[in-house]
Structure 1
Amino acid sequence: MIKTLSSLQLSKVTRPISWGEMDLFGHLNNVHYFRYLEDARIAFLDQLNFFDNKLYCVILKNECEYKCSVEYPDQLTTISYVTRVGNTSFCMLYEVFSEQQDTVVAIGKSVIVIVDPETMQKREIPAQFRDHLLKYMKEFQYEQYA
């Protein structure tokens, strides 16, 4: 049974970058962007009570387009959008915003597939969760796709 949501909020996660995330060239190492995307995705799924409902998913595709480099110190805010909802999967887009530069420094995209935890076979997105995804997608449209 999917728990109901009281209200939708734009899902965003803000955290400072750490010195240890820098690479030899003095900017945020590319692997850490994927951790920021993961933080945002988990916060989003948490907001929708995904884990409380024992749903299981895998990432089919994960990509990141780097707009400009990020240097320490900085604080990044990652905002999550839903851009497509299918029968067994949904797509998310993430904007990574730099406080220091006052601009979007990366755009991430993920395809998330709902699977059976025992067989790892695709399964349909439960109707109530699908409804929440669609409601979120309509409420918080990414400007590029609106």
Structure 2
Amino acid sequence: MSNSQAEIAFIEHYPFTVEHATLWGDMDALNHVNNVQYYRYFEHLRTVFFYQLIGAIQTPDFSPVVAESSCRFLSSITYPDNLILGLGIEHIGSSQVIHQYAIFSKAQQRIAATGVARMVNTDSAQGGKKPLLEEYKTLFETFRLSSE
């Protein structure tokens, strides 16, 4: 089946996307995907992103923690649905990267939620912030969102 115009526009806007199916267990007593699950979708997307980008969630030079996150719920998601999870880089700092996320519902043909996470690179041995290596900054730059 081919992608709709809305799906194509979503995929073109977010430089990194992953398809993900909802599960019956994602639902809550109110018959929609529980709000906590949206954060799990973001976590799944972030994990796949890091694995595909650098081959791990953390390395001796890269040990990110979520310092801040938010989610804006735009539409309830229900089971069954196939989602497209989108990630783009909004900002790259000396020791942090800000991710922008979105969840596209194929059943609804629209964005169901958006989110932001500020990822801070830490020194897992010594504690505290650790500057990002230039090679990581260069990799992240390729996933920066366009300013359109």
Task: Verify same fold: TM over 0.5.
Answer: yes
* Count of matched residue positions in the alignment of Structure 1 and Structure 2: 133
What residue in structure 2 maps to residue 131 of structure 1?
A: 138
What residue in structure 1 maps to residue 99 of structure 2?
A: 92
CA-CA distance at 1:75 after TM superposition: 1.1
Deviations 1:29-57 (A, max 9, x none): 00000110011111111222152743211
Q: Which runs of structure 2 are paired with 1:67-78 in the superposition (5 Å)?
A: 67-78=74-85
Distance 1:120 1:59 in 2: 15
Q: Which runs of structure 2 are paired with 1:19-38 in the superposition (5 Å)?
A: 19-38=24-43
What residue in structure 1 maps to residue 4 of structure 2?
A: none
Distance 1:99 1:135 in 2: 26
Give 3-state SS (helix, strand or coil) of 2:51's partner.
helix
TM-score (norm 1): 0.85
Matched, 1:61 2:68: yes
**Any runs of at least 4 consecutive aligned residues in structure 1 with deviations exceeding 6 A, and if so which?**
none
Q: Return closer, same or farther for 1:99/1:33 CA change in 2, 3 Å cut-off.
A: same
The answer to whether the 8 Å contact 2:16/2:143 transfers is no
TM-score (norm 2): 0.83
Give 3-state SS (helix, strand or coil) of 1:28's partner.
coil
Distance 1:91 1:50 in 2: 20
CA-CA distance at 1:97 after TM superposition: 0.3
Structure 2 unaligned residues grouped into runs of 5+: 1-13
- Which letter maps to 2:95? T
Matched, 1:83 2:90: yes
Q: RMSD value over aligned CA atoms?
A: 1.7
Distance 1:110 1:81 in 2: 11
The answer to whether the 8 Å contact 1:11/1:43 transfers is no
Distance 2:121 2:102 in 1: 23
